[in-house]
Amino acid sequence: MASPVAAQAGKLLRTLALRPRFLAAGSQAVQLTSRRWLNLQEYQSKKLMSDNGVRVQRFFVADTANEALEAAKRLNAKEIVLKAQILAGGRGKGVFNSGLKGGVHLTKDPNVVGQLAKQMIGYNLATKQTPKEGVKVNKVMVAEALDISRETYLAILMDRSCNGPVLVGSPQGGVDIEEVAASNPELIFKEQIDIFEGIKDSQAQRMAENLGFIGPLKSQAADQITKLYNLFLKIDATQVEVNPFGETPEGQVVCFDAKINFDDNAEFRQKDIFAMDDKSENEPIENEAAKYDLKYIGLDGNIACFVNGAGLAMATCDIIFLNGGKPANFLDLGGGVKEAQVYQAFKLLTADPKVEAILVNIFGGIVNCAIIANGITKACRELELKVPLVVRLEGTFMEKKGSYMHIKQETGNSNGNITGIQENVTHQNLSKCAISIFLC
Ligand code: GDP
Ligand code: MN
C-alpha cells in the first residue's frame, strides 16, 4: 500500500521536484525523507560552470526591466534569450500571472527584452514543477542566444542504487526527460563512476557517443562532460543537470540550462557556495526554522507534529493519517538540540493558525527526553498554549526528573487544565483533552 503521507505531501514534492524523479524509481520514501538540498539559480550555476571551463552563453543578470534592457544592449548579440530565474524547471512552457506565456523568450530586439522583462519581474511564474500559484520572479537572465541544432540531456548525480556518482544522458533532451524515460527507456544511458578513480576518458567518450555527438563534436562533448564531472565533485554537488546539453550549427557543445543541487553536509567546506543561497523562494516560516537549525515542513491539515528524525516524522504523519487526522506540518528537531530550540520549535508550530492540536513524538537518543521535557514546560509556560498537547517521549532519560510528570506539573501550573495521563490517545480523544501525556 502506498504510504498515505507519500500521497499527501505535495509540499515536500515541490522541494523534491528539483531532482530528476525518474531516476529514483521505487525510492520515493527515501526521497521524501531527505533534507532540503541547497539549490542555486541558473545564473549562479552557470557562473560556477564557466569558472570551471564549461561552456555557457555570455549573460547578465537583471532585477529590473530597465536593467534587462541595458543588459540586452550591452550584450551586443545577434539574438538574445531572456530567462526568468526561479528554482523550478519547465520555465519555457510556464505562464506568468501577468498573462505572459513562457519563462524563456528569444528576440533580436533589446527593446523587446525590456518589455518582456516588465511582464516577468515581480510576477509569479507557474510551471509543471511549481505550486499552482507559481513562484515570484525577482531576477531575469539576459543571455546571448545561440542557434541550437540538437538538444540532448545530461545529468550527473549521486545515486543510491549505484553507491556513488552516475552520469545519465539521453540523445532526446530539451523535452520532459521523465516522458522519455517512460516511453523510450532505451534512450536513457547511464555510466557509473568510481568516485576514487574519477571519470575515465573512455566513459566520457562513450556517453558523448550515446548522446549522438559525432566527429570532432564527440571529443568536445566528452571534454565538457569531464569538466562537468570534475566540477560536480569539487563543489560537493548531489546533482548537476543540463537540459538541454546542446550543439550549435557552428559546431560548439553548449550547456543551455543548468541546475545544481548541493549536499548540505558539505556547507562547512563550501562556504562561498552556501553564501549564495537564495532563500526568497522559501516559506518565511521555513527560513525562521532554519535560523534555529530546525526543519519545518508545512502541510495542510490541523495537527502539528513535533518530532526528531525524518523517519519518525514520516511514521508519525502516517499514524495520523491512518487514524483519520491530517498533519498541519512537521517540525524535525534533528539531533543534539538544546532546550532553547525546543522553545523556538513550539513558537513556530503554534504560529500556524491552522494548528488545532500538537503531537510531540520524540525518540530520545542524543536528544534526551529531559531536555525536551524542560523545553516543553518552558514553552507552555511562556507561550500560554491554547491548543491541546499530546506528548510521547521514549528513550534516554525518559524517567529523569520524571520527565512526563515534570511536563504535567509545569504545564498544569500554567493553565490548570490537565486531563491526566492517558494510556492511549486516539484522534477522537485528542481533541477533547487539553494536555495529554501518554506513556508507552
Ligand atoms: P526550462 O524550460 O526551465 O528547462 O528552461 P531552458 O533553459 O531549458 O529553456 C527552455 C528551452 O528554450 C530550451 O529547451 C531551448 O529549446 C530553448 N532555449 C534556451 N536557450 C536558448 C538559446 O540560446 N537559443 C535557442 N535557439 N533556444 C534556446
Ligand atoms: Mn531546461
What does the pLDDT read at residue 399? Answer: 64
Cα 270 to middle of ligand 1, angstroms: 29
**pLDDT higher than threshold 90 for residue 188:** yes
**pLDDT higher than threshold 70 for residue 256:** yes
Cα 158 to middle of ligand 2, angstroms: 20
Query: CA-CA distance, 228 to 31, in Å (whole number)?
Result: 24
**pLDDT higher than threshold 70 for residue 311:** yes
| DSSP string covering 203-265 | HHHHHHHHTT--THHHHHHHHHHHHHHHHHHHTTEEEEEEEEEEE-TTS-EEE---EEEE-GG
Structural contact between residues 331 and 306, judged by C-beta atoms closer than 8 angstroms: yes
Question: What would the mean pLDDT of 43-67 be, rounded to a whole number?
Answer: 97
Q: Which domains does the chain have, with CATH numbers?
A: 58-144 (3.30.1490.20), 150-275 (3.30.470.20), 284-397+433-439 (3.40.50.261)
More confident residue, 24 or 72: 72
Q: Whose CA is nearest to atom 11 of ligand 1?
A: 92
Q: Please indicate if the annotation marks 92 as binding a ligand.
A: yes
Q: Please indicate if the annotation marks 66 as binding a ligand.
A: no
What does the pLDDT read at residue 400? Answer: 58
φ, ψ of residue 123 to 5 degrees: the values are -105, 165
Instruction: Record the pTM.
Output: 0.73
φ, ψ of residue 2 to 5 degrees: the values are -70, 140
Instruction: Name the average pLDDT for the chain.
Output: 82
- pLDDT tens, 124-182? 999 998 889 999 999 999 999 999 999 999 999 999 888 999 999 999 999 789 899 99
| Ligand 1 lined by 244 (C-beta under 6 Å) | yes
Q: Please indicate if the annotation marks 91 as binding a ligand.
A: yes
Question: What would the mean pLDDT of 285-296 be, rounded to a whole number?
Answer: 83
| Ligand 1 lined by 92 (C-beta under 6 Å) | yes
Highest mean pLDDT among 89-93, 275-279, 296-300, 376-380: 89-93
Cα 192 to middle of ligand 2, angstroms: 23
- Concerning whether 151 is annotated as a catalytic residue, the answer is no
Question: What would the mean pLDDT of 355-381 be, rounded to a whole number?
Answer: 81
| Ligand 1 lined by 146 (C-beta under 6 Å) | yes
**pLDDT higher than threshold 90 for residue 369:** no
| Ligand 1 lined by 343 (C-beta under 6 Å) | no
Highest mean pLDDT among 19-28, 61-70, 305-314, 423-432: 61-70
| Ligand 1 lined by 392 (C-beta under 6 Å) | no
Q: Please indicate if the annotation marks 417 as binding a ligand.
A: no
- Which of ligand 1's atoms lies nearest the C-alpha of 143? 23
Please give the share of the chain, as a percent, with pLDDT higher than 70. 81
Q: Whose CA is nearest to atom 23 of ligand 1?
A: 145
- Concerning whether 79 is annotated as a catalytic residue, the answer is no
User: Where do runs of H (alpha helix) occur along 307-423?
Assistant: 310-322, 339-351, 369-383, 403-415
Question: What would the mean pLDDT of 55-65 be, rounded to a whole number?
Answer: 98
125: three-class secondary structure by DSSP: strand
What does the pLDDT read at residue 408? Answer: 53
Cis ω before 244 (30° cut-off from 0): yes
pLDDT-wise least confident of 264-268, 312-316, 429-433: 429-433
Query: CA-CA distance, 145 to 107, in Å (whole number)?
Result: 8
- Which of ligand 1's atoms lies nearest the C-alpha of 88? 3
| Ligand 1 lined by 301 (C-beta under 6 Å) | no
What does the pLDDT read at residue 420? Answer: 41
Question: What would the mean pLDDT of 101-116 be, rounded to a whole number?
Answer: 98
- pLDDT tens, 390-426? 888 777 776 654 455 555 544 443 333 333 444 344 4
- Which of ligand 1's atoms lies nearest the C-alpha of 83? 7
Residues with CB under 5 A from ligand 2 (ion): 243, 257
**Residue for grid cell 540531456:** 153
Cα 294 to middle of ligand 2, angstroms: 32
What does the pLDDT read at residue 96? Answer: 98
More confident residue, 321 or 381: 321
Residue of 191, 241, 247, 286 with catalytic role: 241
Structural contact between residues 285 and 350, judged by C-beta atoms closer than 8 angstroms: no
User: Where do runs of H (alpha helix) occur along 150-200?
Assistant: 177-183
Instruction: Give buried/exposed letters for 295-317 (b at 16+ CB in 10 A, else e).
Output: bbbbbebbbbbbbbbbebbbebb
Q: Please indicate if the annotation marks 366 as binding a ligand.
A: yes
Residue of 43, 153, 229, 404 with catalytic role: 153
Please give the share of the chain, as a percent, with pLDDT higher than 90. 51
Cα 59 to middle of ligand 1, angstroms: 14
| Ligand 1 lined by 298 (C-beta under 6 Å) | no
What does the pLDDT read at residue 366? Answer: 72
| Ligand 1 lined by 256 (C-beta under 6 Å) | yes
What does the pLDDT read at residue 81? Answer: 98
- pLDDT tens, 206-254? 999 999 999 999 999 999 999 999 999 999 999 999 999 999 999 999 9
